[in-house]
Structures are given as structure tokens and as C-alpha cells.
């Protein structure tokens, strides 16, 4: 067994164990489990919301998009600050409503605010079903990402399968035990290791191949000038603009189900406002994997799989133990967001689709959904694996596809706000 594989498995188990440390006893009710009893402070909130920004898509997908689409990848930089500027103003109201009316999901909000019991229930259920159906591939993406990471660095399909199963059984276990608090504890680790790893990579890779970041961009300008401009093709100006606007609307209007649990878990609205003030600064780190992607333009052939460019360059530059740490960081960006997504999916099913009357019943439906959702995502991964004989995926494409529907749904629901403006002002 190689050094990288050993470190990767130790990392998977370590992340799982950290998740269990989020809580001494299992949560007794759904409010405690889903939104941490609405007592989450500023530091934990920072890591929970940062977890939404830095996923496998950001870590591997952004490097891949910069490699294949050049400067078009920069679309991911402005939408988070734009969205957080909007959320700075509306999050306080959403939080207050959530606390007063007991919301745990976006479906709860829609049902309550639609101003009609029948239409409210219909829109709540509809948004919940769409949320579950179209966020499930996002969960599948995280599992596939984990398998792909292990396969890229070991070249071994069996290790990839084992790591996917072990990793996600551990995620299910700690999510069932600790809920949102488990996600919070693992987020501390994920963000710490990821930042260290990205800083090392944006120094080591450009220095190794081009003598530094400025020299690297000068060479790209000489050899591949098209990579530094938006040009005709799949990632043209229209794609850039529309993807940025839709992503900004999506985040600003809380379209993704797993955005709600962190927001509703805040101890007070000031915690959220502090986060929305400073988080855009942290969002600049999204540029780090892009720099690695630009370095890859000079080094790798055009036929290289875009998803694997970050890990491929890492293997060429760093010793095996350091590659192992980078793999652990990449695995963390798959496991931790997956845990948050599971909470989003299961609470939607328990609160807005199945609708059991007793709190206990709702709690068990929720926990059953965590297991079923993960099993279903694993089956989807296995099916795609059977078709392609390798856990292939295109992070940027899948992320865009699976998030466009709930995002549209919520952009539409923004209009519902005008229908409720009187009570809103009151």
C-alpha cells in the first residue's frame, strides 16, 4: 500500500472521528440536530458558511475550469461577494422569522409566507421535491469526487471504491450522531488544512514550472493568449455573464436547501452580518486553485482530464507524504459539504414531503432519509461507474446542472416576496 493511500485512509477516518466529536450525546430533537438549537456563534458560523463555498467543485473543478476554459473560470469570484451583499440585508429578517415561526427548511419558509394554506403547502412541497431531486446529484458529485481523488493518485480502482464507501458510511454515521454540530467540527479541520495546502500549491507549482506567478502569466500570454481572454466556445462571454448572474441570484436568494440550516442556526443576526461582511475576503481564496489550473495550461497536454489537473501537478512537484496531505484536504472538501447536503435533503423530506405529525416520527423519518439519500447517491455513482468503468465526472458541468433548477425555483419564489410585502413590512 502506497504512502499516499495510507495517509488518505487515515484522513478519511480522522474526518469521521472529528464529526462524532461534535456532540457528546446524540441530538434528541430535529431543531437541535438540524440547526444546532439555534445557538451557533460567529466562529462556527464562519466555518459552516465557508463550507458552502469550498467544495470539491471549488478545489478540483476550479483548477480544471481554468485549465480548460482559461480566464472564464473567474466567473466564480464575484458572485459570492455580490450575493453576500444582498444577504447582509435580508438574512436578519429570514433569521428572525425562522426563530419566531420555527423554520428548519426553505420549504417551511415558503409554506408559511405564501399567504394561502393550500398554495403554501403546494409551493413548500414542490420546492422540497425539487430541492431533493436536484441536490441529490450534488451529493453524488461529492462521492464521485472522493473516488476520483483516490483513483487519480493511486491509479487503483479498488482503492477508489473502498474509499468512497468507507468515507460516506462514516459521513452518514457522524451526521446521524451529531447533525449540524458534527459538520461544524469537521469544517474547522477542512478549512484549516485546505488553506495551508492551497497556499503551498500556489507557491510551489508556479515556482517549479515557471519561476513564479508573474513569470507564469507572462508565459501564458506569449504561448496561449486565448486563455487570458473570454472568447467564442462553450465558455464565452454569454456563458460567463449568465453563469455569474444566476449563481449570484442563487446564493443571494437562498436557493440551495443546505444554505438554510447554517443561517437558521445563528445565535443572533449580528453573527450573520459579521460573516457576510468578512466572508467575501475569504472568497478570494477561490482564485488559488485557478492559479494551479493556469500553471497546468503550460505543463499538461490539452487532452488531460480537467478534473485531475491539480492532483497531477501536485504529484509532479511534491513528495508522496505532501501529496497525501493534499489528498486529505481534497477528500475533506468532498466529505464535509456532503454532510451539510445530507442535512438539507433529510430535513426537507421530514418537514415538507412526508409530514409525519409527531416530533418523534419526524425525527426518525429525517434520520432514515439520511441513510436512504446516501445509499441512493452511492447507487448513482455505481451506475455511472458501470457505464464508464471509472468514476468520471465534470465538476463544473454537474455542479451547474444540478443547482440550476433549485436556483431557478428560488429566483421565481423571490417574486412571492412581493405578494407578502404588507406582512413583511409589518
Partner 1 sequence: MLRKRLVGKVPILAGLIVAEVVVIWLTFGKIHLFGTWNVGMVGLGVNVVVVVGAGLIERALAQRTAATAVPE
Nearest to 110 by CA among 95, 122, 124: 124
**Using an 8 Å Cβ cutoff, are 313 and 326 in contact?**
no
Does residue 239 interact with partner 1 by CB under 8 A? yes
Choose between 392 and 401: whose C-beta lies nearer to partner 1.
Answer: 401
| SS3 assignment, position 266 | strand
Task: In whole angstroms, give the CA distance from residue 257 to residue 37.
Answer: 18
* 40 φ, ψ (degrees, to nearest 5): -80, 130
> Rounded to the nearest whole angstrom, what is the least distance from the CB of residue 241 to partner 1 in the complex?
9
Place of cell 477528500: 331
Q: What is the DSSP letter of 304?
A: S
**Using an 8 Å Cβ cutoff, are 330 and 60 in contact?**
yes
Does residue 411 interact with partner 1 by CB under 8 A? yes
Binding residues among 353-382 for partner 1 as defined by CB under 8 A: none
Q: Mapped to the 3 state alphabet, what secondary structure does 126-139 carry?
A: HHHHHHHHHHHHHH
> Rounded to the nearest whole angstrom, what is the least distance from the CB of residue 408 to partner 1 in the complex?
4
Does residue 141 interact with partner 1 by CB under 8 A? no
Choose between 241 and 321: whose C-beta lies nearer to partner 1.
Answer: 241
Instruction: Print the binding letters for residues 76-115 with partner 1: x by CB under 8 A, - otherwise.
Output: --------------------------------------xx
Does residue 243 interact with partner 1 by CB under 8 A? yes
Does residue 409 interact with partner 1 by CB under 8 A? yes
Choose between 14 and 240: whose C-beta lies nearer to partner 1.
Answer: 240
Q: Which stretch binds partner 1 (CB under 8 A): 174-182, 195-203, 242-250, 333-341?
A: 242-250
User: Which residue in 141, 246, 266, 399 binds partner 1 (CB under 8 A)?
Assistant: 246
User: Which residue in 86, 126, 169, 298 binds partner 1 (CB under 8 A)?
Assistant: 126
Instruction: Print the binding letters for residues 162-191 with partner 1: x by CB under 8 A, - otherwise.
Output: ------------------------------
Does residue 400 interact with partner 1 by CB under 8 A? yes
Beta pairing partners, 40 = 266
Choose between 246 and 295: whose C-beta lies nearer to partner 1.
Answer: 246
Binding residues among 32-51 for partner 1 as defined by CB under 8 A: none
**Using an 8 Å Cβ cutoff, are 54 and 194 in contact?**
yes
Q: How many CB atoms lie within 10 A of CB 318?
A: 19
Does residue 249 interact with partner 1 by CB under 8 A? yes
User: Which residue in 24, 100, 234, 302 binds partner 1 (CB under 8 A)?
Assistant: 234
**Using an 8 Å Cβ cutoff, are 376 and 37 in contact?**
no
Does residue 407 interact with partner 1 by CB under 8 A? yes
- Is residue 34 packed enough to be buried (19+ CB in 10 Å), middle (13-18) or exposed (0-12)? buried
Task: In whole angstroms, give the CA distance from residue 219 to residue 31.
Answer: 54
User: Which residue in 24, 302, 357, 422 binds partner 1 (CB under 8 A)?
Assistant: 422
Q: How many CB atoms lie within 10 A of CB 131?
A: 28
**Using an 8 Å Cβ cutoff, are 48 and 38 in contact?**
no
> Rounded to the nearest whole angstrom, what is the least distance from the CB of residue 184 to partner 1 in the complex?
30
Q: Which stretch binds partner 1 (CB under 8 A): 59-67, 212-220, 363-371, 415-423?
A: 415-423
* 21 φ, ψ (degrees, to nearest 5): -70, -10
Instruction: Report in angstroms the alpha-carbon separations of 391 from 90, 128, 278, 306, 382.
Output: 40, 29, 36, 14, 8
Cα 297 to chain centroid distance, Å, stands at: 26
User: Which residue in 122, 166, 169, 200 binds partner 1 (CB under 8 A)?
Assistant: 122
For the four alpha carbons of 15, 16, 17 and 19, in that order, the dihedral sign comes to positive
User: Which residue in 221, 236, 321, 361 binds partner 1 (CB under 8 A)?
Assistant: 236
Choose between 358 and 418: whose C-beta lies nearer to partner 1.
Answer: 418
Nearest to 72 by CA among 250, 290, 240, 247: 240
Binding residues among 250-309 for partner 1 as defined by CB under 8 A: 250
Number of residues binding to partner 1, judged by CB under 8 A: 38
Choose between 221 and 388: whose C-beta lies nearer to partner 1.
Answer: 388
Does residue 149 interact with partner 1 by CB under 8 A? no
- Maximum C-alpha span of the chain: 67
> Rounded to the nearest whole angstrom, what is the least distance from the CB of residue 58 to partner 1 in the complex?
18
**Under the rule (CB under 8 A), what is the footprint of partner 1?**
114-116, 119, 122-123, 126, 130, 234-236, 238-239, 242-243, 245-246, 249-250, 400-401, 404-405, 407-409, 411-413, 415-419, 421-422, 424-425
Amino acid at each position: 500500500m502506497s504512502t499516499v493511500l495510507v495517509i488518505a485512509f487515515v484522513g478519511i477516518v480522522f474526518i469521521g472521528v472529528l464529526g462524532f466529536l461534535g456532540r457528546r450525546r446524540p441530538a434528541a430533537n430535529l431543531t437541535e440536530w438540524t440547526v444546532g438549537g439555534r445557538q451557533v456563534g460567529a466562529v462556527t458560523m464562519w466555518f459552516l458558511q465557508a463550507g458552502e463555498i469550498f467544495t470539491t467543485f471549488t478545489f478540483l473543478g476550479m483548477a480544471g475550469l481554468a485549465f480548460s476554459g482559461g480566464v472564464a473560470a473567474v466567473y466564480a469570484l464575484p458572485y459570492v461577494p455580490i450575493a453576500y451583499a444582498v444577504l447582509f440585508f435580508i438574512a436578519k429578517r429570514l433569521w428572525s422569522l425562522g426563530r419566531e415561526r420555527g423554520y428548519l427548511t426553505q420549504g417551511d419558509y415558503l409554506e408559511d409566507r405564501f399567504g394561502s394554506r393550500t398554495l403554501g403547502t403546494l409551493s413548500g412541497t414542490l420546492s422540497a421535491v425539487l430541492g431533493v431531486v436536484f441536490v441529490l446529484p450534488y451529493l453524488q458529485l461529492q462521492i464521485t469526487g472522493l473516488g476520483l481523488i483516490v483513483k487519480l493518485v493511486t491509479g487503483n480502482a479498488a482503492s477508489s471504491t473502498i474509499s468512497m464507501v468507507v468515507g460516506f458510511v462514516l459521513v452518514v454515521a457522524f451526521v446521524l450522531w451529531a447533525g449540524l454540530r458534527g459538520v461544524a467540527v469537521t469544517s474547522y479541520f477542512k478549512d484549516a488544512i485546505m488553506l495551508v495546502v492551497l497556499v503551498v500549491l500556489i507557491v510551489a507549482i508556479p515556482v517549479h514550472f515557471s519561476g513564479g506567478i508573474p513569470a507564469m502569466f507572462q508565459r501564458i500570454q506569449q504561448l496561449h493568449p486565448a486563455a487570458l481572454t473570454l472568447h467564442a466556445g462553450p465558455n464565452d462571454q454569454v456563458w460567463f455573464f449568465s453563469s455569474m448572474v444566476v449563481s449570484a441570484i442563487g446564493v443571494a436568494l437562498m436557493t440551495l436547501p443546505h444554505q438554510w440550516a447554517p443561517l437558521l442556526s445563528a445565535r443572533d443576526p449580528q453573527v450573520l452580518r459579521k460573516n457576510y461582511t468578512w466572508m467575501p475576503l475569504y472568497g478570494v481564496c477561490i482564485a488559488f486553485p485557478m492559479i494551479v489550473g493556469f500553471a497546468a495550461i503550460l505543463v499538461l497536454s490539452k487532452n488531460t482530464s480537467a478534473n485531475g489537473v491539480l492532483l497531477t501537478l501536485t504529484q509532479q512537484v511534491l513528495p508522496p507524504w505532501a501529496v497525501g496531505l493534499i489528498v486529505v484536504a481534497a477528500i475533506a472538501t468532498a466529505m464535509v459539504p456532503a454532510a451539510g447536503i445530507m442535512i438539507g435533503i433529510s430535513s426537507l423530506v421530514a418537514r415538507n414531503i412526508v409530514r409525519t405529525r409527531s416530533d418523534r416520527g419526524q425525527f426518525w423519518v429525517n434520520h432514515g432519509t439520511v441513510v436512504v439519500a446516501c445509499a441512493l447517491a452511492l447507487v448513482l455513482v455505481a451506475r455511472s461507474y458501470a457505464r464508464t468503468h471509472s468514476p468520471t465526472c465534470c465538476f463544473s458541468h454537474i455542479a451547474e446542472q444540478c443547482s440550476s433548477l433549485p436556483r431557478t425555483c428560488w429566483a421565481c419564489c423571490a417574486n412571492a416576496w412581493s405578494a407578502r410585502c404588507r406582512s413583511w413590512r409589518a
